Amino acid sequence: MSIDNDKQFVALFGEPIATEYSNALMLMDVYADVSLMMFRKGLESLCLKVAKNYDYEFDNTDLCEQINELAKETFINVITKELLHKARQQTNAGVHLPENLIGKKEIRNIDITAHTKKLISNAIKVRKDILEILELVAIDLKVVKRIPKYALSAAGGQGVKELFYTCLGSTDHQKHFTLGIVYQSLAKERENFVLCNDGRSKVPNPYYRFANECFKSAFYFSTGLSISDISIKNKQGIKISPNGYESLFHYVMLSITEKIAEINPDEEQLILRALVKRKYSAAYPQLGWKKYLAGHYKEGAKLITHDKAIKDNFSLHKKGIIYLEGKACARDINLSIEYFRQASEFGCADSMFELAKIFHRGEYVKADIELAEECLNKAIKLGNASALKYMKNDFINPLGMMTAFADYLLKVSDFEIAKNRLKIQWAQVEKKMNNP
């Protein structure tokens, strides 16, 4: 059995592994840190695929613990476990800047080139490790009957340039959409690297604009329509090819999440209604939540809980809100908690925060301070700023506050700010403890 290159081999494992691996290769030389993050996502997806193959559900959301669980259940052998941990540790270099690159500009200027080279070196090593891991699990997952021979395909930032220039003269909507996804991934992964000293991003992220233009082009080449055609011809009725649904949804989501400011809320609803009318599942909860926030509670809840609506973190979290508030239906705290739990299991920081407040306040259930603290710390570690504020202002636990605050600041990759603010916060805590 022979395969032309490694990308074709990885493609046998299906999505999202194939795309994550391909994007990691494409970004290796230009954005090695982002490449490492994409490789890490590939490792996470592979672990989920192995678990699913054995109908197993993880007890932990942490990648390290998930690898240990797979080995403990004998779904993977010791060699595979060690390789997974090795690759996981290599990807950590793309998450935070080392301390010697924080602070003085002269130190940064000297060391930044060496750091970049190290990231590229790590990405090359991770790539080889991942391929070896895939070979080890391929037969067990029944991806292949025997391991094929393949050659390493060219990797690096040139891939982004080639895709960009290909799109300039192409009418292939899928190529434009793919480029949009690449730019969107770049924007998401690099958001933490444009933070100002106050911890809030004030620098416009140009990659979202690039992604926006790509999605508009993809929509045009798949339907022959412009975005404005949807609002202009809405009353007359308009035919939209199913090939354009996904690019149209990605376009409107950039506006809803405030990554671009090109259309207004009314236009957002027009686009979402057009997609719901065509039974595009991801649009139901987004349109439903807009209706709910506008005071149309029952109409919004109906869309969010619709049989055709996608079951994702967003919809699960909003269902939890609906049954907690009781504005669209009778309050059902048990059902609300269950939806928050489901969303939390998949890493939804907002749902984790809601659970923390429920168990801390004890308004509808028996208060459980220990569980509330656990949920609150998890929400903060996932980057929820509201949970951090709640911990500081409403949750009486100085030690927990300090731990959570440190985790949050490290999450945004600013060690110097973390150190200075922790000193200030700890001084305040000591003052309160000495003067209750």
Of 15-19, 82-86, 148-152, which has the strongest mean pLDDT? 82-86
Please report which confidence band the pLDDT of residue 306 belongs to, taking 50, 70 and 90 as the band edges.
Answer: very high
Asked if 276 and 163 sit in the same domain, the reply is yes
Helical (H) or strand (E) element with 319: helix 313-325
Q: Are 223 and 240 in contact (CB under 8 A)?
A: yes
User: Among 88, 122, 156, where does a domain finish?
Assistant: 156
**Rounded-to-integer distance, Cα 164 and Cα 175, Å:** 9
Indicate whether 202 belongs to any domain: yes
Q: Which of 30-34, 64-68, 93-97, 102-106 has the lowest mean pLDDT?
A: 102-106
**Which residues neighbour 13 within 8 Å (Cβ) at sequence distance 6 or greater?**
46, 49, 134, 138, 141, 143
Q: Which of 145-149, 252-256, 314-318, 382-386 has the lowest mean pLDDT?
A: 382-386
**Residue 60 CB neighbours (<10 A):** 11
Supply the pLDDT for residue 96: 46
Indicate whether 420 belongs to any domain: no
Q: Are 310 and 282 in contact (CB under 8 A)?
A: yes
Asked if 83 and 203 sit in the same domain, the reply is no
Indicate whether 152 belongs to any domain: yes
For the entire predicted model, the pTM comes to 0.61
Percent helix, strand, coil in the chain (nearest 5)?
70, 0, 30
User: Among 225, 251, 280, where does a domain finish?
Assistant: 280
Indicate whether 118 belongs to any domain: yes
- The average pLDDT across 265-285 equals 95
Supply the pLDDT for residue 251: 96
Q: Which of 81-85, 140-144, 199-203, 223-227 has the lowest mean pLDDT?
A: 199-203
**Residue 104 CB neighbours (<10 A):** 10
Indicate whether 373 belongs to any domain: no
Alpha-carbon torsion (246, 247, 252, 253), positive or negative: positive
Asked if 6 and 140 sit in the same domain, the reply is yes
Asked if 235 and 107 sit in the same domain, the reply is no
Asked if 132 and 186 sit in the same domain, the reply is no
Asked if 229 and 147 sit in the same domain, the reply is no
Asked if 206 and 245 sit in the same domain, the reply is yes
Asked if 24 and 10 sit in the same domain, the reply is yes
Q: Are 323 and 333 in contact (CB under 8 A)?
A: yes
Supply the pLDDT for residue 100: 44
User: Among 280, 314, 338, where does a domain finish?
Assistant: 280
Supply the pLDDT for residue 46: 96
Structural tokens at position 210: 């690039």
Indicate whether 343 belongs to any domain: no
Asked if 128 and 216 sit in the same domain, the reply is no
What is the per-residue DSSP string for 246-298? HHHHHHHHHHHTTS--SS-HHHHHHHHHHHHHTT-TTHHHHHHHHHHHTT-HH
Q: Please return the burial class of 147, using the count of CB atoms within 10 Å of its CB with bins 0-12, 13-18 and 19+.
A: middle
Supply the pLDDT for residue 228: 84
Supply the pLDDT for residue 202: 47
Supply the pLDDT for residue 189: 66
How many domains would you assign to the chain?
2
Asked if 184 and 275 sit in the same domain, the reply is yes
Please report which confidence band the pLDDT of residue 110 belongs to, taking 50, 70 and 90 as the band edges.
Answer: very low
Indicate whether 14 belongs to any domain: yes
Asked if 117 and 166 sit in the same domain, the reply is no
In DSSP terms, 149 is beta-bridged to: 2
Indicate whether 18 belongs to any domain: yes
Supply the pLDDT for residue 156: 72
The pLDDT tens digits for 361-406 are 888 898 888 898 889 888 888 878 888 888 777 664 444 545 555 5
What is the percent of the chain where pLDDT is above 90?
A: 46
* Domain around 213: 158-280
Supply the pLDDT for residue 165: 75
Asked if 97 and 206 sit in the same domain, the reply is no
Higher pLDDT, 224 or 1: 224
Helical (H) or strand (E) element with 5: strand 2-5
**Rounded-to-integer distance, Cα 117 and Cα 332, Å:** 55
